[in-house]
Structure 1
């Protein structure tokens, strides 16, 4: 990772440590629940993305460095809260997908933030159990 990407990562994670506890309590914030790869405890992460049919699409701003992506690699079974309702599903990491093109299909504000802050983008698709 370049020095600039490392600096972005440190700044973003410091900010997210402060804001994520507030965001995940908001009733209509989309929240991804993974199982901690070491602790086995539920881990809640506010995310941005879009449901398309029986899938939920999102782009991780730091790819495989993101803690929730590491948790998905250990256990792909997840839950996601969309508009206040919880859905179970299986997450799939898609390194072959073009994350910049994918961001064009997702909500504009979140996509702009991910592009500005991110380094090493990675597309994630969650196949919902519906």
Structure 2
């Protein structure tokens, strides 16, 4: 399957099937960005790990992900972990090794990111609280 076709198939499935279901799951980690066009909050289910005052995740489609584009426009975000919202500033880390980073993150999500990802990108959120 071509990289572009894989990207379109995965993002369509996530947008219309997976994300609406997982957004409602109480234990699901959510990343809230501000829509770069609408200015409205956009919540995306993500997998990652809270480490001290940092939250780490890997985007499976890098700069093609809508939430990454929103971060580029406004890096102020919120992350919901274990039902609690944290404010922070997101940083895209293109020089970080995303495959090595995935080994430090939750196993199930990391396997999914590796299998469906087309352009992995590490993101670190420095939390304010």
TM range (shorter): over 0.9
Counterpart residue number, 2:52: 53
Matches within 5 A, 1:1-130: 4-17=2-15, 18-130=17-129
SS in 1 for 2:80: strand
> Aligned partners of 1:32, 1:115: CA distance in 2, in Å?
19
Q: Gapped runs of 5+ residues in structure 1? A: none
Q: Quote how far apart the aligned CAs of 1:42 are.
A: 0.2
**TM-score w.r.t. structure 2 length?**
0.97
Secondary structure of the residue aligned to 2:9 is: helix
- SS of the residue aligned with 1:19? helix
- The ranges of structure 1 where at least 4 consecutive aligned residues each deviate by more than 6 angstroms after the TM superposition are none
After superposition, the CA RMSD in angstroms is 0.8
Count residues in correspondence: 128
How does the TM-score come out when normalised to structure 1? 0.96
Name the CA distance, whole Å, in 2 between partners of 1:85 and 1:34.
16
